[in-house]
Amino acid sequence: MLLHRGRHVSAFRALIAAIVLATTPALAARQDPAPTLAAAQAKLDAGDADGALKLLDPLVKREPKLAQAFLLRATARLMIGETAGKDDLDKAIALDPTLRLAWLDRAAVAVSEKRYDAALADFEKARALAPADADGILNIGAVELLLGRLDEASKSFQDYLGQRSGDAAAYYLVAKNYALTGYAGLAVQNLQQAIALDERMRATARGDANFADLTSNPRFQELLRAESYRVPADALRAERVYPGAYAAGKGPLLLATMDALQALGEGFDTRVEVTPEWALLWGTLGNPGNLRIKLSDDAKGQGQVALTAPPTAMSAGEWQQSSARLLDAILIQLGKRRIIGGPVKPTGSPR
């Protein structure tokens, strides 16, 4: 189940499978143990649980009422598979019931052990400590789904989305939660909304194992094939037709385009979408996702490349130069592949 949390410790996340908990700033520790706590946290962030324990075991003995020390030791122990980490979480909560990360961690452990009622209770405690945090509602909704409480979960997700209005990633997370629990229709519905807000979510969904059970779902497949983007009237745009065909990604145009981007030192998202009708790449132009590159074939079977970018990406003059440079580079790469009889020097483009 897909939840959210703040610390990113890979081994601990492996323990709790697909759970990710909400971002929460670490609580300030007392001055004397602060350097040790900071050093232990650095060890945990680096995946060195044993190193963290060497710092935390003596600290816990010296400071038996320091809740943060027990919380960090719980993480270290759980990272190496020691169930005593659960005792440390209990101790941290007993010492400081306001320590939200301890409630979140204990809930995550409960989910990994399929003790969903206990997880829900702890997530509700964490939620009470930060009622303005939308991710807390997501956590609760996810566990409600695991408990089979669809109505309650749907309400929680609607509350969550209400606080994350216009956020494609929020709809995507809700879609994954529904997909993982077998609610295909609700998963597709929320994924469709995520894609409508940011079509790059479609590329993310293609390689996301959380949607594996939907691969035979017609609505899901239709969603992945659809390319409903409409270029804004004020967008920067440029396009060109080439003798090298796209041909459902099997022609030379796709590889030539990627070669051109690399030759120009232009970064692009490795999540390239390839369908029988079109392919979609995302370049940078200074900022990731600024350059949209669509490949397809025209009615005559010739390959065509359409470039678009937000009007704020650059000036019209800069766009004319940058887009022509890329479109020319694609022509050169097609020439290198002998699609048009050998290397070609572009002509008639702005310099």
> Residue 307 corresponds to which tokens in the numbers above?
């470039």
For the chain, what is the mean pLDDT? 88
Which neighbouring-strand residues pair with 303?
242, 297
Say how far apart CA 62 and CA 336 lie, in whole Å: 70
Query: Based on the domain organization, do 54 and 186 belong to the same domain?
Result: yes
More confident residue, 148 or 267: 148
Query: Based on the domain organization, do 240 and 163 belong to the same domain?
Result: no
Query: Based on the domain organization, do 296 and 158 belong to the same domain?
Result: no
Q: Which of 169, 197, 225 is the last residue of a domain?
A: 225
SS (H, E, C) the chain: CCCCECCCCHHHHHHCCCCCCECCCCCCCCCCCHHHHHHHHHHHHCCCHHHHHHHHHHHHHHCCCCHHHHHHHHHHHHHCCCCHHHHHHHHHHHHCCCCHHHHHHHHHHHHHCCCHHHHHHHHHHHHHHCCCCHHHHHHHHHHHHHCCCHHHHHHHHHHHHHHCCCCHHHHHHHHHHHHHCCCHHHHHHHHHHHHHHCCHHHHHHHCCHHHHHHCCCHHHHHHHHCCCCCCCCCCEEEEEEECCCCHHHCCHHHHHHHHHHHHCCCCECCCCEECCCCEEEEECCCCCCCEEEEEEECCCCCEEEEEEECCCCCCHHHHHHHHHHHHHHHHHHHHHCCCCCCCCCCCCCCC
Q: Which of 203, 225, 247 is the last residue of a domain?
A: 225
Min mean pLDDT across 74-78, 159-163, 253-257, 285-289 is at 285-289
Residue 32 pLDDT: 77
Nearest to 21 by CA among 164, 122, 147, 152: 122
Query: Based on the domain organization, do 279 and 200 belong to the same domain?
Result: no
Mean pLDDT in residue range 291-302: 95
Residue 3 pLDDT: 59
Mean pLDDT in residue range 168-196: 97
Domains in the chain, number: 2
Residue 290 pLDDT: 83
**Do residues 164 and 22 touch, judged by C-beta distance below 8 A?**
no
Is 119 domain-assigned?
A: yes
Tokens 């995520």 appear where? Answer: 194
Query: Based on the domain organization, do 259 and 212 belong to the same domain?
Result: no
Is 349 domain-assigned?
A: no
Nearest to 75 by CA among 146, 126, 3, 6: 6
More confident residue, 43 or 336: 43
> Residue 141 corresponds to which tokens in the numbers above?
């909704």
> Residue 287 corresponds to which tokens in the numbers above?
């900022």
**Do residues 334 and 257 touch, judged by C-beta distance below 8 A?**
no
Mean pLDDT in residue range 266-284: 92
User: Above 80 in pLDDT, residue 244?
Assistant: yes
User: Above 50 in pLDDT, residue 26?
Assistant: no
Phi then psi for residue 148, to 5 deg, are 80, 15
Encoded amino acid at 319, one letter: W
Say how far apart CA 171 and CA 190 lie, in whole Å: 5
Min mean pLDDT across 56-60, 142-146, 312-316 is at 312-316
Residues 209-235 pLDDT 10s: 999 999 999 999 999 999 888 889 999
Is 146 domain-assigned?
A: yes
Which structural domain, as residue segments, surrounds residue 118? 10-225
More confident residue, 345 or 251: 251
Query: Based on the domain organization, do 197 and 325 belong to the same domain?
Result: no
Query: Based on the domain organization, do 258 and 199 belong to the same domain?
Result: no
User: Above 90 in pLDDT, residue 90?
Assistant: yes
Residue 109 pLDDT: 97
Encoded amino acid at 109, one letter: V
> Per this entry, what is the length of the chain?
351
Mean pLDDT in residue range 180-189: 97
Residue 108 pLDDT: 96
301: domain CATH number? 3.30.310.50
> Residue 168 corresponds to which tokens in the numbers above?
């494609």
67: domain CATH number? 1.25.40.10
Mean pLDDT in residue range 98-121: 97
pLDDT level of residue 165 (50, 70, 90 thresholds): confident
pTM, two decimals, is 0.81
Residue 138 pLDDT: 97
Q: Is 237 exposed, middle or buried (0-12, 13-18, 19+ CB in 10 A)?
A: middle
Nearest to 63 by CA among 102, 38, 95: 95
> Residue 55 corresponds to which tokens in the numbers above?
């710092």
User: Above 80 in pLDDT, residue 48?
Assistant: yes
Instruction: Give the contacts of 132 (CB within 8 A, at least 6 positions apart).
Output: none
